[in-house]
Amino acid sequence: MSTGMTDITGKDVLLREYEMVGERSKETHYYQVQTEIATHSSKGVLKSTDIYQQRLMVEPSGGADGEADKYTCARFSVQRGDQPEVTIPALNGYTYEINKKSLDMAGLDEQGQLYGIPEAKFEGLTDSTGAKLPFVEVAYQVYSLFFYYQGHVDYAEPSLHGKGVQHLKRIGDKVELETSFAELPLPGSLAGKGSVWKNGEVTLEFKGLGVIDEVPCAVLSFDLGVCTWVMPLTIMPLMRLKTNGVSFYRGDIYLDLESKWVRKLEMNLSEITVTSMWGIPVDKSILKTLLTIRDMSKEEFIQD
């Protein structure tokens, strides 16, 4: 008989079946979403370490078809290298809604927006000093932190496209997801025409059991295999760039089997990127990114 996570003691703990899916509790959840990005030169020398942080409030829908979950960014901050931390005022209080049943396999809505998040919101952003953010922050980091939450927490929710977490019952169970080896267009104006992402073998595994904040959780491991991508960029009419890359994504999700909410997620991303201008290589970088998503109390969330 399948069970939730009311008791993880006993000799049958490793053989017991667990339910990963079910009715999610309806209370509002509060998350700290952070990426720490270390950029190295092609020779392995550390060039900079940048930190992007978001406080995200998630208000679940009532669960009926057609209803959307509501997301509110309460605060977004950026710290680049040794520079002081700055915030992005335009994103404080920014609210959007997502009905996941309206998205295709690539996470695009009918307007081609990734997770239904309007990309125009992230163009021309300025920080709390009034300075305009450099292009790279808009294209790769600020905007990406929003869909990083969606794209990775989604592994702990039932798949609408083939196998998913609902097929994991016992420790050691592993499934290959529908998005394996899929070639997907990179949406929006931040990615130039012809930008394409290709997944490797995408797998999800019931890795074991763990405890976060005294809450028993299932530990789910996801792996996107070897991913490749190409992104043409036009910074200005006479500056046309093309970036090629190879990426490796691996992470663990701690899923509360009672509430069906993610308590914590950690992902390591390694990338090698080569940027060319008019076909001539001008830069090669190695990026190491640690993504951390953790559940917070409301009291901690609203602190300055």
pLDDT band at 242 (very low <50, low <70, confident <90, very high): confident
Tens digit of each residue's pLDDT (9 = 90 or more) over 43-66: 889 999 999 999 999 999 865 555
Res. 2: pLDDT tops 80: no
At 148, the amino acid letter reads Y
Residue of higher predicted confidence among 122 and 30: 30
Q: What is the pLDDT of residue 1?
A: 43
Across the range 123-151, mean pLDDT stands at 83
At 266, the amino acid letter reads E
CA 76 to chain centre: 15
CA 54 to chain centre: 12
3-state class of 269 per DSSP? strand
